[in-house]
Structure 1
Amino acid sequence: MLINLRDTLLAALARLPGTREFHLHVLVSSPRKSASIFPFATPRPRAYLQDVLVLLSEQTTPDSPHILVAAIDASVYNIVSTSSAILYISKVDSTGQAMSPSPTYCLVKAFLAFYADPATRPLAAEHLWIHLFARAQAQYLFPNSAEYAGKHPLSDIKLCAWWKRVFSDVAGELEARAQEPSLKLKLCYILPGYSEFEATHAIKNASSSSAACPSWTYGHPYSQTELMLPCPPVASEGKKNLGHFIPSFDDDPKSRFMDEIAYTTDGEVKSPTRKRSRTSSRDDGSHSNHREGVEEKEGKNGKDERPLGELGKVTPDEFWERMSFRQECVAGAVTGFFTLGISSSTATKDASRSTISPLAPQPGQVSSQLNKRIVTTLTTNVEFSTVERAIRGTEIVEGAIRGLCEGIPPIPTTISHGPRTFPKPREFDRRTPEREISSQPSLLAPPSTPPPRLVHGKRAIPDVSPNPFPEPVTSLETYHSHIYGTICVSNPVAAAKGAPGAVTKEESTGQVTVLTARKKKKKSD
């Protein structure tokens, strides 16, 4: 029996201290074919992609409105040929309008543990890799939430320490309750531009946790042999290139760097190669030698199987060394790459998962277009700069999800914006000299993955074949059984003595103790 992601997240939220009610929406798209995870591998592995969107809103009292407080945007890739899966955490954001303690940490931890644990993983994959790129920004999924005074985003190094703690807790709990000796874990992280000594001490100083953490490796996981990598190995060692090791994700600096390496040679942009024209010359010795040279460059099927650009020359170690000099990693803020690998043979023993086609839609899944429409509504049609606007935005987003499940198209909503005010720079903001000199707000768009390149007017990476299964049709039954869930939390608030936010006995009873200063007696003559 497959365990519901929504119910798993609600069970984790039920243990949070305080009295409040959570409302959760979980959108998991049906699998579809994708060729974007390893675009430069030859041959490209067949992968199946799912989009996951988790939205959490909070209600402080039964009569108060809902307010979105946290969100997760992720992608799941299933590579059947190697019995592997990749979970990429694209964005995690909060509005800063939740009660204390914030549910973001609990939500993210439960989300990662759901896919990491072979007992709850909804994929028949023996190996799972979780990838994350940590980059501190004031807002990701909630527009204008940085203008809300109650939102306090973490600084760059504190964000890396926060993610390291999340990965450590997930791996530690999984290792503690695992009853299978074949379970293997691999934790890796890199702070580009930092040595291992600098990174260890920087994160240790920024972390508030003193608990024992699992063993971490400072570096990348592409040279280890303990866990199988997701991309299938090639028969010939000469055909292996950098594209077989490093996966490509949207809005990830690794993907942009891979694209430059693939289409750049000797410092110049590589022009697309022309196809060899057919000739009617006789088959003499020179033509035979030319044909042998072509066969060395091309495979038996006539396709050019040589690695693009410098992909065949750059090793994974050199790739990560050069990543330290990329603009996104040296722009004045610390960034981090985190990877968690889990290998277990019990993940494929469940017959209900292993016998189902990886493309077949499962109960509770939605179409990828529905998921995309909700993300567009969240990031373009609403804002969260004030409590009033957050309430209105929550109503629009949650109403759109229910309406799309009922088959009712959402009503276009235009948000009237007042005079734009830009948040004051925080203490942890590190700015480049150009940004310090300019008094106007920057109009540069954030880095994004470029569109696929064209070769002779066609996509260099051809589109995959159509999905033989139709898109799932959602209904109110799907909405109430798999997408939407709510839970009331009423737990005591346990704060350590002397900790920030701890309530003393005098504060709880309303008693006030007044201290009076003793007057010093004068010495008599």
Structure 2
Amino acid sequence: MNNEANETLVERWGLPEARVSCKCNGWETAHSDHTSATAMAPSTHNLRDALLSALKTLPGTREFYLHVLVSSPYRHTGLFPYAHPRPRVYLQEVFVLLSERASPESPRQLVSAVELFVYTVPATSCGVLHVSKVDSTGQGTAPPPTSTLVKTLLSYYADPATRPIRVDTLWIQLFARAQNQYLFPNSSEHPGKRPLSDVKLCAWWKRVLGEVASASQAKSQDAKLGLYYLLPGYNELEAINSLHTVSLSANTVLPVQWVYGHQYSQTELPLPCPPSQGVHNLGHSIPSFDDDPKSRFMDEIAHTTEGDIVKSPERKRPRNGSKSSAKDKDKAAARDTPDESNAKEYKPEGELQKVAADEFWERMSFRQECVSGAVTGFFALGISTPAVPADAKPTSSSVPPPLAPQPGQVAPNLVRRVVASLTNGHEFSTVERAARATEALEGSIKGLCENIAANPAGAAKSPASLAPLLFQREETLEPSSAAAAAATLEVPRTPPPKRGGAPLPDLTPNPFPEPIASLETYHSHIYGSVSVANPPLRAKAGAVAAGADGASGDGGRTPAQPVTVLTARKKKRKIDS
């Protein structure tokens, strides 16, 4: 992805060409912004076919190779850890890997990866799509496909016609923080990867969600939309001035209205957590995600105990116990023997009941993640479709159980192993290393679907026997790190709180066994390829290519155009003879 953009891209789509490198609660991407609404429109087929159809519209000539891993649903207790009672939540993990090849002679190169978590709350018929990580290697050709990949993926879940989960309201949430790399280790060392700056990252995400919302509103006029964003430490006017480059692209059908603030005080769109039966606290409003700054802050609020508050000393007992009155004895007995009704009453932990949502977001501006000198942003898109009439609802016999695996889904552990392999076992600092990592990862996914066991040492490394490489680092990394990575089969996550908000063990067994991936699943739902043969984007005569921003050190500005300096001719002085 080291090709530069041109003026045609800016004028045609209304978007500046940029490499995006960002964190969405820990995520990063590098790509171009030029995708049209046609490319965003998801297919009526499965997720893999929808993504391939969108990638086929990209300009240029190349081949894309896509791997889509969607886990089967399982019970999850950590979305609202401080709600009482905790609602029933089902979680699916989604991981998308995209590689490309410029010509039949060149090797495949991984160019983009996206990690999502999809939560379903049956009690409120709400879903939460948390964009966890997006990253790219910067080693593809222009225009980069990550923008198309992300928009199509979000549109697939936003459209009720293609949404794979049965909910009436969907919330898309993310935390944008610019970083050099997240999913592709050492990819920032490649000269072709030039991440976006923090401000341009937030502007890019605001534009992406705006186009997804606009396309959804064009398809369904009855759908209710809510777009919210918040830059901690900035008021509304400062945020607008900071993101002044944000503008909807020319292909946007209908404009959408953004609200500067959070969505937890509005009542137009249902929130995922059901209303509390007793005392309402902050844990009923704000969901908790892994590696999320607002989740860590809520844990601290929940762990603020009464010991931090200065109290008056207790009243001393009289020296002569016989002089104490019967009334004092009754008070002491009532104090030592708690009432049964009070014992059963739920008491929110720490200061959760005392801190309102507005105060929470105001105090978020002073958190370390938000005051480190870089601009960060919280974004949310809510889409609520009209409820289906009772006579049009499918019967209970036609609706599959919520935990039943669907065709194309794999075991959650398989998705985690692939993510752990990508983040721990390979590096993408050079083209050669990236090519080896791409071959190993793609072969590992196919090998896991074939249920191939680890080959003994010294076995031939055929494409089908690359599954053992899933947890092995490349030879260029340190041996000590290789041993640690081989022993670590899980993706590094933020440790859960020690008490209170820690995930509860699920004592109810899953009545359905985990799906076993097969070659049929691999070829029908996981793996797919598409050849792109479209006219390339051409620059106008005299156009100056726009430079990348972020890690390239130019602060998100395009290189200065050459300036022709005109010098005035000096008037000759006449010399008297």
Using structure 1 for the length normalisation, give the TM-score.
0.81
In structure 1, stretches of 5+ residues that fail to align are: 270-283, 300-304, 420-446, 503-516
Residues 1:198 and 2:257 are matched in the alignment:
no
For each residue in 1:7-27, what CA deviation from the matched residue of structure 2 results, as whole angstroms up to 9, or x when unmatched?
111111111111111000000
Percent identity, please: 57
**2:521 equivalent in structure 1:** 478
Q: How far is the alpha carbon of 1:453 from its aligned partner?
A: 1.2
Q: How far is the alpha carbon of 1:268 from its aligned partner?
A: 3.5
**1:250 equivalent in structure 2:** 290
Residues 1:306 and 2:347 are matched in the alignment:
yes
Are the aligned partners of 2:81 and 2:502 in contact in 1 as well (CA < 8 Å)? no
Q: How does 1:13-24 map to 2 (within 5 A)?
A: 13-24=55-66
- Indicate the larger mover: 460-469 or 376-385: 460-469
For each residue in 1:148-207, what CA deviation from the matched residue of structure 2 results, as whole angstroms up to 9, or x when unmatched?
0000111111100011110001001111122x52x1000000000011001111111366
Q: How far is the alpha carbon of 1:496 from its aligned partner?
A: 5.8
Are the aligned partners of 1:118 and 1:347 in contact in 2 as well (CA < 8 Å)? no
**Structure 2 CA distance for partners of 1:129 and 1:58, relative to 1, 3 Å:** same
**1:370 equivalent in structure 2:** 414
Are the aligned partners of 1:32 and 1:48 in contact in 2 as well (CA < 8 Å)? yes
Q: Pick from 278, 282, 295: which aligns with 2:341?
A: 295
**1:110 equivalent in structure 2:** 152
Q: How far is the alpha carbon of 1:265 from its aligned partner?
A: 3.1
Are the aligned partners of 1:158 and 1:207 in contact in 2 as well (CA < 8 Å)? no
Q: Pick from 138, 150, 159: which aligns with 1:96?
A: 138
Q: How does 1:136-285 map to 2 (within 5 A)?
A: 136-178=178-220, 180-181=221-222, 183-205=223-245, 213-236=255-278, 239-265=279-305, 268=308
- Aligned to 2:266, what secondary structure does the other structure show? coil
Q: Pick from 120, 129, 134: which aligns with 1:78?
A: 120
* Distance in structure 2 (CA, Å) of the matches to 1:148 and 1:208: 31
- Letter matched to residue 537 of structure 2: A
Are the aligned partners of 2:47 and 2:156 in contact in 1 as well (CA < 8 Å)? yes
Q: How does 1:436-451 map to 2 (within 5 A)?
A: 449-451=494-496
Aligned length: 456
**Structure 2 CA distance for partners of 1:29 and 1:500, relative to 1, 3 Å:** farther
* Distance in structure 2 (CA, Å) of the matches to 1:246 and 1:377: 31
Q: Pick from 535, 546, 570: which aligns with 1:492?
A: 535
In structure 2, stretches of 5+ residues that fail to align are: 1-42, 310-329, 454-466, 479-491, 547-565
* Distance in structure 2 (CA, Å) of the matches to 1:287 and 1:82: 44
For each residue in 1:311-354, what CA deviation from the matched residue of structure 2 results, as whole angstroms up to 9, or x when unmatched?
00100000000000000000111100000000013679674997
Are the aligned partners of 2:62 and 2:532 in contact in 1 as well (CA < 8 Å)? yes
* Distance in structure 2 (CA, Å) of the matches to 1:352 and 1:103: 41
* Distance in structure 1 (CA, Å) of the matches to 2:201 and 2:388: 31
Q: Pick from 367, 370, 388: which aligns with 1:329?
A: 370
* Distance in structure 2 (CA, Å) of the matches to 1:36 and 1:108: 26
Q: Pick from 397, 402, 422: which aligns with 2:441?
A: 397
- Letter matched to residue 112 of structure 2: A
* Distance in structure 1 (CA, Å) of the matches to 2:239 and 2:184: 30
* Distance in structure 1 (CA, Å) of the matches to 2:59 and 2:264: 40
RMSD (CA atoms)? 2.9
Are the aligned partners of 1:188 and 1:217 in contact in 2 as well (CA < 8 Å)? yes
Are the aligned partners of 1:148 and 1:386 in contact in 2 as well (CA < 8 Å)? yes
**1:424 equivalent in structure 2:** none
- Aligned to 2:167, what secondary structure does the other structure show? coil
Residues 1:7 and 2:64 are matched in the alignment:
no
* Distance in structure 1 (CA, Å) of the matches to 2:286 and 2:406: 29
**Structure 2 CA distance for partners of 1:350 and 1:30, relative to 1, 3 Å:** farther
- Letter matched to residue 188 of structure 1: Y
Using structure 2 for the length normalisation, give the TM-score.
0.74
Q: How far is the alpha carbon of 1:460 from its aligned partner?
A: 7.0
Q: How far is the alpha carbon of 1:492 from its aligned partner?
A: 1.1
- Aligned to 2:442, what secondary structure does the other structure show? helix
